[in-house]
Amino acid sequence: MVSLLGAESIVYHQADPHRVSDYVNQHVGVHGIRGARRSDQQASLRHRQFGKLDLCSLRYGEQIQVSSKALETVYHLQLQLSGHCRWHSRGQEHYLSPGEMLLINPEDPVDLTYSSDCEKLIVKLPVGLLEQACSDSQGSSPAQGIRFAANLYPSQQLQGVAELLRLICQEASSGQCQGPLAEQYSRLLAAKLLCALETNIQQEQVEESCPSFSRIADYIEEHLKKDISVEQLAKLAHMSSRSLYLLFERKAGTTPKSYIRQRKLEQIHQQLSSSPARVRNITEIAMDYGFMHLGRFSESYRNEFGELPSDTLRRQH
């Protein structure tokens, strides 16, 4: 089975395994490697972001052990392309052959040993993407998060998933499928996994509310002009910082800090879009909400709304 991502997706070819591992840590999932010799330069990596997905075709070129305590905020769907990979978890062990798939839940420990000829396609799916797919199908997400009942799947059981992955990789490699269509492919893959595989989701008409998140969101709205820390929010919700990050990923699809920054920007945009008589000065408004570096503020504002703050204000005159 050949790599599903085209040559235009190549990030590294015949590279140091540690460099490849560093890149994977930044874009695909936190892990550590053991056994890599820096003298070997046989690792390769292809990577594409596509909608909410990260697609990664990976080969280390030597026997490598990959481990992680947990992926925390993402799921990994791994398709074995060549060679074999030893999977070990909670007393279970299995050698994946080409065509087999491994699905790793966010809280699962990772213990994998790649053969020297092992290559696999890794698809990173954010927790929020699965939660949204569950909500779209009128399902109720468990309070502890969605969990797939099994980790290992033979090729014949997930034939439809494999075909969808090939199509997604083809579209991602072409570079012609962007924006909303790429997002639809992301949601389609998430929905396909929830439909094809056994999970802990209870099919109900109404999803249970999350008092913790509602309370946190209300607190943020009331204190938008103050410096709100992750530690403050975790204490308010009576949970650890890690649990808080998971909660925001599931309910808002982002991190606490990004959520707060977005709400600040939205409030500023609302003020600039209102009657110009109410607006004193863009700099003062930005500083009111804690944006002390005006260049970065303007860049963040433009990324969020497609125009500079001065453009928004000018349209009101």
pLDDT of 204? 36
Between 1.10.10.60, 1.10.600.10, 3.40.605.10, 3.30.420.40, what CATH number should domain 211-314 receive?
1.10.10.60
**Which pTM value belongs to this model?**
0.65
Most confident of 16-25, 35-44, 245-254, 268-277: 16-25
CB 84 within 8 A of CB 115: yes
Give the closest residue to 41 by CA, choosing from 18, 67, 22: 18
- pLDDT tens across 227-251, in order? 999 999 988 888 888 788 888 887 8
Residue 203: pLDDT band with limits 50, 70, 90: very low
Walk across the sheet containing 64-68 and list its strands.
32-34, 64-68, 110-114, 85-89, 92-96
pLDDT above 90 for 193: yes
Confidence of residue 118 (pLDDT cuts 50, 70, 90): very high
Which tens digits make up the pLDDT trace of 298-316?
988 888 888 888 888 877 6
Q: What is the mean pLDDT of residues 15-28?
A: 94
| Of 42-46, 87-91, 313-317, minimum mean pLDDT range | 313-317
Tell me: pLDDT of 202 over 70. no
- Per domain, the residue ranges of the chain are 7-196, 211-314
The residue ranking higher by pLDDT, 259 or 177, is: 259
Q: Which fold has domain 7-196?
A: Jelly Rolls (2.60.120)
